[in-house]
Structure 1
Amino acid sequence: MQSLQPTSQRESVFNNEVISRFELYNSLFLTLPFYKVKDTGTLLPLFIKSCEDGVKNHETPAKLIEDFFGKYTPNTNTQDIIDLLFRFIQYIERQVVLFDAVEDASFNKLNIADEQSSLRALFLKANDDKILHEKVDQLIEDFSLRLVLTAHPTQFYPGSVLAIINDLTAAIKINDITTINQLLQQLGKTPFFNKKAPTPVDEALSLSWYLENVFYFAAANIQSGLNNLLSEYHIDPKKIIELGFWPGGDRDGNPNVHAETTLQVSKMLRQILFRCYYRDFRNIKRRITFRGVEDAMGLLQDVLYKNAFDSNLEPQDISSFIIENLNKIHDTLIKEHDGLFVDLVSNLTRKVELYRSHFASLDIRQDSRILRDVHTYCRQQKPINSLFPANYNELSEVEKIKALSFRNAKIKYADEQDSLTQDTLQTIAQIKEMQQSNGEMACHRFIISNCQQASDILQLIELFLWNGWEADELTIDFVPLFETVNDLSGAAEIMETLYTHPFYKKHLASRGGKQDIMLGFSDSTKDGGYLMANWSIFKAKVELTETAEKHNIKLAFFDGRGGPPSRGGGKTHRFYASMGKEIANKNIQLTIQGQTISSQYGSIDSAAFNIEQLINAGISSGVKEKHNVLLDKANYDTLEVMASDSYDSFLALRKHPLFLSYLETLSPLSLLSKITISSRPVKRNSGEALKLEDLRAISFVTSWSQLKQNIPGFYGIGTALKNQEKAGNWAQVEKTYQQSGYFKTIIDNCMMSMSKSDFSITEYLANDKKFGEFWKMLHQEFELSKSMLLKLAGHHSLMENYPVEKRSIAVREKIIMPLVLVQHYALEKLQHELTDEKRQAYEKLAIRTVYGIVNAGRNLA
């Protein structure tokens, strides 16, 4: 596995390369002559200092902001104050971007591979150890990494801003002051968001920027290096990296995604890919001007150009044709031209082998409750209605499964369908069209969210058989998504039912005996709190692995939001490296979304580094196949009690009468629906009153992070640890922490989440008549969690073992602290009677602060 430079060296690099350069360019930035920003650069440092002093003195945001304007701009009216605060926000948003660019420019200097712990070292060792060599060979054969890009309302930079960031990073790398100055001016004048909310297609187009400009190169580079390494050690090269894509396919809770949307995005991904291919081919054509390759070059020129630019072309999967002709050119260059420029041809061939005609697999996702309704609708139609009893919905699960016939049928729809039913049926039919156009991998997974029973999957299969699919040609993988703590506890039993079901068993065999299972971390955290979510997922994985092994099923876990490590924005590769042999780990699949995309995969360098770390972690873990010590009785019992105590604590918080009121009043939760950064509603059942169960996990987490309290990332863990100490079981907890890499990773990421919290900003609430006691309860659990975690880790401060990351977070939090205070100021004003004009102004002010706060968190969402 790749590791970082020694801490002291990294700290020195960070101080010199990041902090110093940021301060230099920031001083340049504050003097730029932006439109309507006269004197803003001068006043902003004074405003920041006033904010810091006001927080230290526990002043309310209203008092410290009004005192500032009274002191430095005494003659301003309310509208002038709002206008100047908007300009401060604009500057701070761009300061965050500047810090990102400076940090990204130093990425390679901060992250240097340690050859002793790399894959190369592992293969070198395997060369001298026959048993290890066989194990590595088998692991490579079975291993895969799938990164799935998802659209969430915490990744909102338009393509124009992403391009500026990319160019700014490149300029900072070489200290090109002239270009940096120009780009900072461009950044200051470029809008950071759209006036209208994006459509799902807009989101897909925005996210495809990363596919085209980052992953297209980074994934191919890693695959190339891996192929060379495998060839060196006489292991056959194998495609390991796969890309997935959710925008346009994920319709769970998003009424704006339709069948036509999915088809449109599929076509868009294909066209963008072929434009990438054509761009590379033009470079080849510029260099390969020799005889003997004219025919193949001419064919490729014609087919690549048409597929890249002709919108009237009838699309087909032509990847094999492209590879065949590239291989002809390759062979001719070797035989007749001394291999001149053969590397350019090999490079494009690798990319076509990776991305074929689809670029990234488009996943379809829908809620089980919707799919049940569609199944009910279809059962009422001819000729299906004769196959089912009238009381089918009242039957037990066993009786329902027994009633399913899995017959092919062509339904004659007699009555009008609602929009969700229509979308589901059209999408099922269109998946076949997408597979014919872009290849089977273009769209081959249907994810059933909120999956609660085996019939949820089996009924969906019937929908396919009733809408144009044959049983022996069902090129679809059905993926259950288990989300809540309760669903996770019953997951293994559901899969046992499926693995033993004759039809499903036969279907799995036709799909290579492989089953993907998705585990949703965000919803389980909202449901049960941080520790219970982690522990529930761990136990579910162990049970699901055991069930799969019993039936000889190749199991791949698909972790939502990067899985349990990501709540604190933590080290995902450490989480995968810590797996024991009791958890299937040969196929790593995870969603990357929000600011995780830009922070960890925003440049070719950082994407390649993080992809390689995940591959190293997965293969190294598979070779070790260590027993997971959390399954030893003493450790297991300890975690079981701690998770239960943590859950009880979190549940008591959720049931507190002020819980939702606190979030709605003091965070921008109620305003998130007005933010034009997402096509997805903030909550399900959007026309009804707010209920916690309807609130989307991403909105729930975002609201707490805006408050700088990050409750989902720690609440209850302090109580759980304290209870163990009181019970005289502390020595056992310490032993569990020292022995289990998995538990240690959970603790590390909890501390990272807490590092992004700052209760001092809201300490003025301690005296609030309505929320004072509630705030104190939250703060008390934070302080308890902090003290207990530090005691367990043997540290003096949070993230003590990650000093560079800790410093980076501290700088970011300092940059955006004024935004948090402006947000509180605006939200407090909204609690009073206001004219419509003033209300709109304060709402807009609060909304604008959200962007910069989210961006500074980078990997929180």
Structure 2
Amino acid sequence: MSVEPKLVRFKQNVLSKYQIYNSVFMTLPFDTVTKTGALLPLFHETCKKGFAHEEDPTTIVDTFFKKYQARRNKQSQINLLFRFIQYIERQVVLFDAIEDAAFPIINNMEGLGTLRNLKESATAENRLEDLKAYLEEFKVRIVLTAHPTQFYPGSVLGIITDLTEAIKDNNLSEINNLFAQLGKTPFFKRQKPTPYREAKSLIWYLENVFYTSFGEIYNYIQQNIYDDGKKHNEIINIGFWPGGDRDGNPFVKPKTTIKVAKKLKKAILKKYYQDLKALRRKLTFRDVEERIIKLETILYNYSINLNTKKTISSKELIKELLSIRNHIVKEHQSLYISEIHNLINRIHLFGYHFATLDIRQDSRIHDNVFSTVINHLIEKESDSFPKNYNDLSEDEQINILSKAKHEAIDIDAFEDEMVRNTLRTIEAIEDIQATNGERGANRYIISNNQTALNVMQLFAMLKIVAFKERLTVDVVPLFETITDLENAPAVMEQLYSNPAYRAHLESRGNKQTIMLGFSDGTKDGGYLMANWGIFKAKELLTEMSRKYDVTAIFFDGRGGPPARGGGKTHQFYSSLGPTIEDKEVQLTIQGQTISSNFGTLDSSQYNLEQLISSGIDNRISGGRNKLSDADRAVMTDLAETSYKTYKDFKSHPMFIPYLERMSTLKFYAKTNIGSRPTKRGSSDKLVFSDLRAIPFVGSWSQLKQNVPGFFGVGTALKKYEDAGEFDKVEALYKNSKFFKTLLENSMMSLTKSFFDLTKYMSKDEEFGDFWNIIYDEYTTTKRLLLKLTGYTELMENEPTGKASIEVRESIVLPLLTIQQYALKKIQELEKAGVSNDDEEKKIYEKIVTRSLFGNINASRNSA
């Protein structure tokens, strides 16, 4: 059977279907404004032609109304623009659902990078035992974060799921009903969600996707690769940040953490109960049925009320299921044995915790909290802390902290709420471990970690407050800025040299998890330097850890788009080479990355398998990925040139004013998509260091300029072209899979740029020169990337991804035009001196905010 090329499959199963269903969709009247569906294609065409003729968004909108809707009054025009936004948002949903439905047709579910392919290759090469040994120690952990990069409320996610199924079945009447439902379901939130609501919306993925896909993968490994009936390494697990991530989120309280942990436990118990209910219909044999019914009843009651008297531990549950299995093997010809194995495997994977709740807080907050606690203990004349503690050197303080032990502290005696909450959170970790098992909450991440003292403060605090006997929590430093990454090896050596900390690591299997953050790294150092800085830090941390017989586990803060460390994730991991520890792959996923890469059973299973095989690929081909000294020198020079270019750009006097007045930055706070504030500081003035990475990267994306994903790359490449040494960069590109992956991800940022949208800014008296700096860097980067790769167009090697981006960008073109039109109106009104309470200004601000939704959701294929 011949299989059509991937792009042909995409055109047949996505593009053609979208055109058909979109024409049906456009006939639906969602509200009282008539003809919206008929007028939108005309407006879309006006935008396309207008930008082709170098018209600005204001002219395009005005032309459309003059030409097609001359009789509408001002209010009616505004109403129509809002209706266009409403339709376009839903066109994005339709395209999402069609892409999801076509996923298993477009992607080869048994091809390269899948487990079946891995097994077949290993068998053919006589390396099945090597594969088994590798899988016995390798792990993939994906960590769901509540970072707000997707605007779909839960109700819309449900519709996308149902629409995907209906499209798979070509069920036109059901599709019509779902279109109508979609039209009447609000896309925006009137209030910010609470952290608990954020957690609930992500638990939806655990229950509806991961429980099945993780289970299927683990079952396949257990039954087809090992096939010995024994328990093996669980390989895949889930981390969870909503309800535990306090960094910059004052709304996450200790009660929230406990509440989320209870919800996770109830959710997994409910899934086990449902599986037992299904088993009960099959295991209708003597001496088996009543045992299954008993388990089913216990888990049903337990999932409803965690305080019910009759409970069962996860160990007891597995023991009873194994006993039932053995009885069936002996007495009932092994009937339905694989179904029992599947459930046992899932309990092994998910325990009673479902996902591991990570706690995270900023080192600066810890420092304040810790000083308060120490001073309190000094006043109480604690044996552990001398009166002159605060005057001691950092080394002396670390020495004292390493000997800290449990102290009786009255948490309520502290006046500062942050102190009380931090200490109660430590107590909460111990409580969760008691109810959900140790895997329920056993990691505490220190963001903005700068010194060994930051780690030892938390290490001591955990013992002082809660952990009397044994510390069953991993302390995870997060190094974010370029400077922190450079200092990281020295910080870790200081910790490894400390006998108390070293003993703690031995009790934790001689493993140290180290988190490295992309988002703030890119914001701080630009695209090339952030990635190269992390690569070098990983190499040095690997070398340092191995010197002390510690296995470094790297946890990557990989966001959605390349500008936040995203891009083609499995390619990135398979490119790292032998100088970087690769026993585990751990990464954060968030927002549209969750729904695009893991939102359906097919995509979730496929992308998880790709991640598992990327680690294996790196192990097998590691030697090939090693950089030569000459290539390293070029890579370092490119990163440093790019860093300087980006730093100069960032310090341009127009940088902050441009973001503040010409972009959508200040509108992010009004979208109510995440529970945490959009900036860290409380100052009214915009300060760069206070900016969160997501609104920062998002604002460049809304402008269709994507600066953090490429700025500095072009200048760095041009330096080699000007010196007549471009062949050195070509050699690096040919030799280094890491460099190649970086540039391919940067190409994605360039592909999603559209400078015609903001070309009008080039003539602006105040910002014209600044806009031209960005545009020049874009054209230089694009020209030199094409020269380096030999492509005639961007993303030429990935035509399907390129085609998907083109359709999505085309769908939102009218939305971007409307947004720019409204931004320009706001600027004009502000120049005219109108107040913030001006009704007209408020309407245009609402248009900008509403346009954010569809634009962000449409850039879903960013990971």
Structure 1 residue 392: deviation in Å? 4.3
* 1:637-688 deviation per Cα after TM superposition (whole angstroms, max 9, x unaligned): 1111111110011001110111111111122111111111110111001344
User: Quick one: which of 450, 471, 474 aligns to 2:471?
Assistant: 474
Q: 1:124 to 1:312 in 2, by over 3 A?
A: closer
Name the counterpart of 2:780.
784
Structure 1 residue 468: deviation in Å? 2.1
CA contact (8 A) 2:557 2:565 kept: no
Name the counterpart of 1:205.
200
CA contact (8 A) 1:521 1:563 kept: no
CA contact (8 A) 2:47 2:60 kept: yes
Name the counterpart of 2:75.
79
Q: 1:391 to 1:651 in 2, by over 3 A?
A: farther
User: Quick one: which of 448, 453, 457 aligns to 1:459?
Assistant: 457
Worse overlay, 95-104 or 112-121: 112-121
Structure 1 residue 570: deviation in Å? 2.1
Name the counterpart of 1:365.
360
CA contact (8 A) 1:274 1:308 kept: yes
CA contact (8 A) 1:672 1:682 kept: yes
Structure 1 residue 18: deviation in Å? 0.5
CA contact (8 A) 2:118 2:613 kept: no
Q: Does 1:354 align with 2:352?
A: no
Q: Give the residue type in structure 2 aligned to 1:839.
A: K
Q: Which structure 2 residues correspond to residues 370-449 of structure 1 after superposition, within 5 A?
A: 370-382=365-377, 383=380, 387-388=384-385, 392-393=389-390, 395-404=392-401, 405-412=403-410, 415-449=413-447
Structure 1 residue 77: deviation in Å? 2.8
* 1:426-450 deviation per Cα after TM superposition (whole angstroms, max 9, x unaligned): 0001111000100000000000000
Name the counterpart of 1:103.
99
Q: 1:504 to 1:764 in 2, by over 3 A?
A: same
Name the counterpart of 2:521.
524
Structure 1 length as normaliser, TM-score?
Answer: 0.95
Worse overlay, 800-809 or 832-841: 832-841
Aligned partners of 1:457, 1:338: CA distance in 2, in Å? 56
Structure 2 length as normaliser, TM-score?
Answer: 0.95
Q: 1:545 to 1:234 in 2, by over 3 A?
A: farther
Name the counterpart of 2:763.
767
CA contact (8 A) 2:203 2:264 kept: yes
Q: 1:225 to 1:153 in 2, by over 3 A?
A: same
Structure 1 residue 269: deviation in Å? 0.9
Q: Does 1:852 align with 2:854?
A: yes
* 1:251-305 deviation per Cα after TM superposition (whole angstroms, max 9, x unaligned): 0001111111111111111111112222222211223222111442133122211
Name the counterpart of 1:231.
226
Q: 1:826 to 1:159 in 2, by over 3 A?
A: same
CA contact (8 A) 2:140 2:585 kept: yes
Q: Which structure 2 residues correspond to residues 193-592 of structure 1 after superposition, within 5 A?
A: 193-231=188-226, 237-310=232-305, 312-313=307-308, 318-382=313-377, 383=380, 387-388=384-385, 392-393=389-390, 395-404=392-401, 405-412=403-410, 415-470=413-468, 472-561=469-558, 567=564, 569-592=566-589
Aligned partners of 1:434, 1:314: CA distance in 2, in Å? 19
Q: 1:584 to 1:319 in 2, by over 3 A?
A: same
Task: State the SS of the aligned residue for 1:590.
Answer: strand
Aligned partners of 1:244, 1:641: CA distance in 2, in Å? 37
Task: State the SS of the aligned residue for 1:106.
Answer: helix
CA contact (8 A) 1:361 1:441 kept: yes
Name the counterpart of 1:799.
795
Q: 1:257 to 1:609 in 2, by over 3 A?
A: same
Worse overlay, 818-827 or 279-288: 279-288
Worse overlay, 372-381 or 293-302: 293-302
Q: Give the residue type in structure 2 aligned to 1:763.
A: K
Aligned partners of 1:213, 1:153: CA distance in 2, in Å? 21
Structure 1 residue 461: deviation in Å? 1.2
CA contact (8 A) 2:639 2:716 kept: yes
Q: Does 1:90 align with 2:90?
A: no
Aligned partners of 2:373, 2:219: CA distance in 1, in Å? 48
Task: State the SS of the aligned residue for 2:658.
Answer: helix
Q: 1:642 to 1:234 in 2, by over 3 A?
A: farther
User: Quick one: which of 126, 131, 155 aligns to 1:160?
Assistant: 155
Aligned partners of 1:826, 1:389: CA distance in 2, in Å? 62
Aligned partners of 2:765, 2:502: CA distance in 1, in Å? 61
Q: Give the residue type in structure 2 aligned to 1:462.
A: A
Task: State the SS of the aligned residue for 1:709.
Answer: coil
* 1:584-615 deviation per Cα after TM superposition (whole angstroms, max 9, x unaligned): 11100000111111111110000000000000
Q: 1:117 to 1:182 in 2, by over 3 A?
A: closer
Q: How many residues align?
A: 853
Q: Give the residue type in structure 2 aligned to 1:305.
A: Y
CA contact (8 A) 2:222 2:229 kept: no
Task: State the SS of the aligned residue for 1:518.
Answer: strand
Worse overlay, 315-324 or 425-434: 315-324
Structure 1 residue 356: deviation in Å? 0.6
CA contact (8 A) 1:384 1:409 kept: no
Aligned partners of 2:45, 2:604: CA distance in 1, in Å? 36
Aligned partners of 2:395, 2:371: CA distance in 1, in Å? 17
Q: 1:402 to 1:337 in 2, by over 3 A?
A: closer
Gaps of 5+ in 1: none
Task: State the SS of the aligned residue for 2:749.
Answer: helix
Gaps of 5+ in 2: none
Worse overlay, 139-148 or 345-354: 345-354
User: Quick one: which of 703, 709, 715 aligns to 1:719?
Assistant: 715
Q: 1:29 to 1:394 in 2, by over 3 A?
A: farther
* 1:476-528 deviation per Cα after TM superposition (whole angstroms, max 9, x unaligned): 00100000000000101111111110110000000011111100000000000
Q: Which structure 2 residues correspond to residues 694-705 of structure 1 after superposition, within 5 A?
A: 694-705=690-701
Q: Give the residue type in structure 1 aligned to 2:674.
A: S
User: Quick one: which of 55, 59, 63 aligns to 2:59?
Assistant: 63
CA contact (8 A) 1:629 1:635 kept: no
Aligned partners of 1:606, 1:407: CA distance in 2, in Å? 47
Worse overlay, 680-689 or 692-701: 680-689
Task: State the SS of the aligned residue for 2:285.
Answer: coil
Worse overlay, 231-240 or 339-348: 231-240
User: Quick one: which of 38, 43, 52 aligns to 2:39?
Assistant: 43
Aligned partners of 1:727, 1:112: CA distance in 2, in Å? 44
* 1:312-333 deviation per Cα after TM superposition (whole angstroms, max 9, x unaligned): 4379782112212222332233
Share of identical aligned residues, percent?
47
Q: Give the residue type in structure 1 aligned to 2:471.
A: L
CA contact (8 A) 2:529 2:639 kept: yes
Task: State the SS of the aligned residue for 2:623.
Answer: coil
CA contact (8 A) 1:790 1:797 kept: yes
CA contact (8 A) 1:596 1:858 kept: yes
CA contact (8 A) 1:199 1:256 kept: yes
Structure 1 residue 193: deviation in Å? 2.7
Task: State the SS of the aligned residue for 2:334.
Answer: coil
Q: Does 1:827 align with 2:823?
A: yes
Q: 1:663 to 1:635 in 2, by over 3 A?
A: same
CA contact (8 A) 2:141 2:585 kept: yes
Q: 1:685 to 1:304 in 2, by over 3 A?
A: same
Name the counterpart of 1:150.
145
Task: State the SS of the aligned residue for 1:407.
Answer: coil
Aligned CA RMSD, in angstroms, stands at 2.2
* 1:698-747 deviation per Cα after TM superposition (whole angstroms, max 9, x unaligned): 11111111111110100000000000122232111111110111111001
Q: Give the residue type in structure 1 aligned to 2:436.
A: N
Q: 1:314 to 1:771 in 2, by over 3 A?
A: farther
Structure 1 residue 581: deviation in Å? 0.9
